[in-house]
Structure 1
């Protein structure tokens, strides 16, 4: 057994000063304040007042540490996973970029292989496919030459080859055939989110009726209010506020969404339906300079400057280089929300929004012992996954 003592516990609705967390095997056996703690025959980890939190769950990341999941190798998964782990991520949804079927297949193969790996890695929960069924007008940094309409023969073939590895799929619900696809995905329990979309209010309403439950990187690559023959028509952005049942994922790096926009979002949306995501690419955790968005073979050159990746013409963002600790730090500095509410946006909230059966994302008896220790600057000190210390 392992026991974290003299810690500030980050629960879903409060902080507990001078607390402990007792871990037995892979699960949390007990937790509470130190005046409830009795000496156990276990390894003691004195946190000296630092925070003990559930491990972060990043449900949208393309890579980190010089690796992209679309590189299609086990080495890329391991390299990116270890960088994410160093920044407090204990569970991850590796995310694809629109590409060839062959490149996606190689990522599928590598994902299944890395799930068999042991050692210093986060949990790879399942794949998040971003595309290829995206609106051309909202493609962002997604490569145009690989965009497609959702044909049953195509997406059913992907589902068959994936063998249950897909946990989430982002696509544009206004495309022809998109709602029929949604019915297929809903039957398989795949979480569907709207992204890279030019949908209008009625499109979003129908998408929700067919099982869509969230918006991918809120405000980025999605429609907003416009006039059609003089009448105002809501876009995806406004629907994110209007429909309470939709969860929003936000890239809280302070660049994709400036501080004032972060404050607007948390003012208007129930914080329980907000998930922080890095949407990081391979340059996350690295320095400024040129990098590659997507796989090394099919990706394109981007430039990392001032904490964000830019397209070569500097007219648009090309991806995030944020790490999970930076997201928490930015939200804490800019929104005025309590730490426990912000941490829930990257622990309990994504676990619920992804409909995970695995009990993670909370400090709770019987939950998996995926825990991190960090200081007041959100600098990660220790990381535990399934009761094993991965970083100390």
Structure 2
């Protein structure tokens, strides 16, 4: 592979910005980061001039369903590649394809297609592994998930799924369901991220879930219990548990719609950049114009309406996934929530990498790590996306 050199940029490291730097990449990895005047291009090198913009670690989207008119639940290689290529245009260098509640036939089809797509994905964000969102959710907190497919965890069922798809790296579950704690322990044993989601659990139930292996909260606030009454008494819910359990990590859909500015600031203040990942939770409407769309597969998905920068159920009673891209999340955290750029970028790169256990090779610009890089200007407008040394997108 040719040597790739990025020059004339402000390099965003985990805790600081280094101005006037160059990043030298070889064989898909970062070889050196040094002052721009310390590197001399050689014949055969590919040089990218950042033009005084920012050179940042590639964005990692740990929860995404679709984009560019495609959804992973479509169950085709074309859809997988279409989603990966769409999000690469906005700075995503790696992502975790996410399922919805569905038929067993659709789910197992996704497993097959994931493998095939991974072999021929040359122009899109890297597919890191699979995230199963459901079907073990609370009926009261199903949100836009199809309630017809909701189930209670049974070892023989989820065990069979896990054996069929070693590519699963995270699974979102409502931990108050019968059998969910046992499932959490099994996921932990296999090194799979167990995440609390679509849950009506109260604080004590989340504490027990955390002890059983649930260490992360899927799209905090969305489809999740807060303070509630039972037999006239008040109980803290899953949202409060996310703050009270210090070790619990969270992800937020920072599109400026799912959570208002005040809640974005609240999450940042009390969980911090090292325990808060940004995720798009994007459906097929990401990168597409407003209008009617489908959440989930074209065959069995739910009709939704895209307007005002978000997807909604047709009756506008609830959101139905976002149409965000990763660059929009970073812009929102900086512009609306007042988060320093370094920390907003960390929430979109190193923090999700750590949560997924991939930070030894991804998530920051450090020598020896994968050459996953995004170049953007002062408006956080992406001009170049590079994944493992391959230029996926450039203006």
- TM-score scaled by length of structure 1: 0.98
CA contact (8 A) 2:350 2:359 kept: no
CA contact (8 A) 2:81 2:121 kept: no
Aligned residue number for residue 8 of structure 1: 10
Aligned residue number for residue 58 of structure 2: 55
Aligned residue number for residue 332 of structure 2: 330
Query: How far does the alpha carbon of each residue in 1:338-373 deviate from its partner, in whole angstroms, 9 at most, with x for none?
Result: 111000001000000011266011000000001111
2:135 to 132, 135, 139: 132
Aligned residue number for residue 81 of structure 1: 84
Matched, 1:290 2:295: no
| Secondary structure of the structure 2 residue equivalent to 1:180 | helix
1:69 to 61, 68, 72: 72
Give distance in 1, aligned partners of 2:294 and 2:379: 30
Give distance in 2, aligned partners of 1:229 and 1:176: 22
Give how far 1:231 is off. 3.0
Q: Which residues of structure 1 form unaligned runs of 5+?
A: none
Query: How far does the alpha carbon of each residue in 1:206-255 deviate from its partner, in whole angstroms, 9 at most, with x for none?
Result: 11111111100000000001233343211000011111111110000000
2:151 to 130, 148, 152: 148
Query: Mean alpha-carbon deviation: is it higher for 291-300 or for 222-231?
Result: 222-231
| Secondary structure of the structure 1 residue equivalent to 2:20 | strand
CA contact (8 A) 1:16 1:32 kept: no
Give how far 1:33 is off. 2.9
Query: How far does the alpha carbon of each residue in 1:285-333 deviate from its partner, in whole angstroms, 9 at most, with x for none?
Result: 1011000000011101100011011101111111101111111111110
Matched, 1:229 2:256: no
1:246 to 239, 245, 248: 248
- TM-score scaled by length of structure 2: 0.97
Aligned residue number for residue 39 of structure 2: 38
Matched, 1:112 2:115: yes
2:382 to 377, 380, 383: 380
Give distance in 2, aligned partners of 1:56 and 1:375: 15
Give how far 1:43 is off. 2.8
1:97 to 92, 97, 100: 100
CA contact (8 A) 2:7 2:23 kept: yes
| Secondary structure of the structure 1 residue equivalent to 2:88 | helix
| Secondary structure of the structure 2 residue equivalent to 1:115 | helix
Query: How far does the alpha carbon of each residue in 1:241-297 deviate from its partner, in whole angstroms, 9 at most, with x for none?
Result: 111111110000000001111111111212200000000000011011000000011
CA contact (8 A) 1:332 1:339 kept: yes
Aligned residue number for residue 321 of structure 2: 319
Greater than 6 Å deviation, 4+ residue runs: none
Aligned residue number for residue 210 of structure 1: 212
| Secondary structure of the structure 2 residue equivalent to 1:128 | strand
Aligned residue number for residue 170 of structure 2: 168
Give distance in 1, aligned partners of 2:358 and 2:21: 27
Give how far 1:57 is off. 0.3
| Secondary structure of the structure 2 residue equivalent to 1:75 | helix
Give distance in 2, aligned partners of 1:110 and 1:358: 28
| Secondary structure of the structure 1 residue equivalent to 2:120 | coil
| Secondary structure of the structure 1 residue equivalent to 2:274 | helix
Q: Which residues of structure 2 form unaligned runs of 5+?
A: none
1:371 to 370, 373, 377: 373
Give distance in 2, aligned partners of 1:64 and 1:371: 21
Give distance in 2, aligned partners of 1:129 and 1:184: 15
Q: Aligned residue pairs: how many? A: 390
| Secondary structure of the structure 1 residue equivalent to 2:332 | helix
Query: How far does the alpha carbon of each residue in 1:83-138 deviate from its partner, in whole angstroms, 9 at most, with x for none?
Result: 01111111000000000010001111000111111421211000000000000000
Give distance in 1, aligned partners of 2:217 and 2:354: 15
